[in-house]
Amino acid sequence: MFYLKHLRLINKLIILFIFVFCGCAEKKTENKVVAQVNDSKLTEEELELFLGNNKNKNNTREEFIRDWIETEVLYLEAKEQGITDLNEYKTYLQNSQKELAVGLLIKRNFENYTENIQESDLIRYYNKNKLDFKLSCDSYLISLIKFNNITEAENFRLKVDETNWKSVVAEKIRLKKATIIVDDKMIEEYNIFPSIIKNYIEGMNENEISVVIKVSGNEAYIAKLYKKYFANDIPEFKDIRNTVEFRYSNERKQLAYKSFLTDLYSKYEITK
């Protein structure tokens, strides 16, 4: 997709600029310093900016800090060897700044771009592009619940049936005795893990609930099969509605990006 290359690039460039410019410039800040190399400091605020939703994952945090320190010492050595005075370095720097600005522009205008999509739009798109939704392999519309205690899984299986599945699952989730792995979603056979689960699902009927599938130790799963599709089938709209909406939204976003770019071509003077 045209705009996605910019969104992917921006993440790499932001890391680069955090490393080089946020780190190597001396900062006057009240933020807690989590690492320091000479006068360069990495603050808690900068660390959280990069880590985002992963800020509580120790492995990711420590890896980033190690990478920051490595980059700092290499940058200091590059300065000492005169790398930052080279025209080649300055050219790369200028291009990187442009790419970062472009990435931020695209992110501002398109990362959270939405349209008021009607259900009729999705149905019309699905009907027009049905062949694009043809399955390349056997797929299953399922729900899959994981238990870390076989006794809990067995108790759940005794209570649940086709009519009360959602309410019994919700209760287990509320009590933190189970985890939803797949929730009423189409999934390809090669994406079903652990693979032993697929062996059970293949022999099930529509709307059937599996026995307790014991995997290892106390780990167990219970699946509910809503529907099975075979390779080259075209699923019903209701079974892949989220997939249809995702594709339709992305196409609309691409069209919006093209329109945005066309306007810019008219706005600025271009010669070849």
pLDDT score at 111: 87
172 neighbors 145 (Cβ within 8 angstroms): yes
What gap in Å lies between CA 30 and CA 225, rounded to an integer? 55
- Cα 66–Cα 70–Cα 76 angle in degrees, nearest 5: 145
Query: Model confidence over 68-106: pLDDT tens digits?
Result: 999 999 999 999 999 999 999 999 999 989 988 998 999
pLDDT at 15 over 60: no
- Residue 239 is classified by DSSP as G
Best CA proximity match to 227, nearest among 194, 200, 205: 205
The answer to whether the peptide bond before residue 194 is cis (omega within 30 degrees of 0) is yes
What gap in Å lies between CA 172 and CA 41, rounded to an integer? 46
What gap in Å lies between CA 54 and CA 32, rounded to an integer? 19
pLDDT at 13 over 80: no
- What pTM was estimated for this model as a whole? 0.74
pLDDT at 257 over 90: yes
Burial label for 271, CB within 10 Å (0-12, 13-18, 19+), is exposed
pLDDT at 231 over 70: yes
pLDDT score at 49: 83
* Encoded amino acid at 101, one letter: A
Angle between helices 4-17 and 87-110 (to 10 degrees): 130
